Amino acid sequence: MTDTPAPPPFRVGQAFDVHAHTDDPDRTLILGGVRFEGERGLAGNSDADIVAHVCCDAILGAAGLGDIGQMFPDTDPALKGADSIELLRRAADAVRAAGWHPGNIDLSVVLDRPKLVSVKDAMQRNLSDAAGCPVTITGRRTEGVGAFGRGEGVAAWAVALVHR
């Protein structure tokens, strides 16, 4: 009989998300917990903060805890308009309760507007505080190419490390 190898001291998770813009004039764009007044918001049951959503998915996946849709179903009326930064905080708590600790999250967000450079530090602080680990963000512009270049929505990718 062979011995079962010890579980690894760290794991990696990756995530992808996309949200369409909504025509709801009362919906403000929120990315990384920062409100972009005057910009079209994203469709979703919560506040539709796609940046916080990919952070949730990446750390949950790394810890083997499923994804944001399993933990916070978009069919749950109690989550209507939920603050996605708070959802990230709750996901990070679940990761720690499972014996893992978020090490870091790195993400890229794809959109032509608004430009993120002036608020990137605030976004990173909001996400880092909620996740309990460093979060870094890079913005990617499409230069007008494709659905995102036409302003139809926003996409984001993230990679996270969790450790024992």
Residues 74-99: tens digit of each pLDDT = 999 999 999 999 999 999 999 999 99
Mean pLDDT of 16-31: 96
pLDDT of amino acid 151:
83
Q: By the 8 A CB rule, do 29 and 114 touch?
A: yes
CATH of 10-163, one of 3.30.1330.50, 3.40.50.300, 1.10.10.10, 3.40.50.720: 3.30.1330.50
Strands 28-31 and 10-20: unpaired
Structure tokens at 136: 């870094």
Helical axes 50-62 vs 120-131, angle rounded to 10° = 40
pLDDT of amino acid 4:
84
Q: Which residues contact 3 (CB under 8 A, 6 or more apart)?
A: none
pLDDT of amino acid 102:
98
Residue 1 pLDDT greater than 80, yes or no:
no
pLDDT of amino acid 48:
97
Partners of 104 in the β-ladder:
161
**Domain positions in the chain:** 10-163
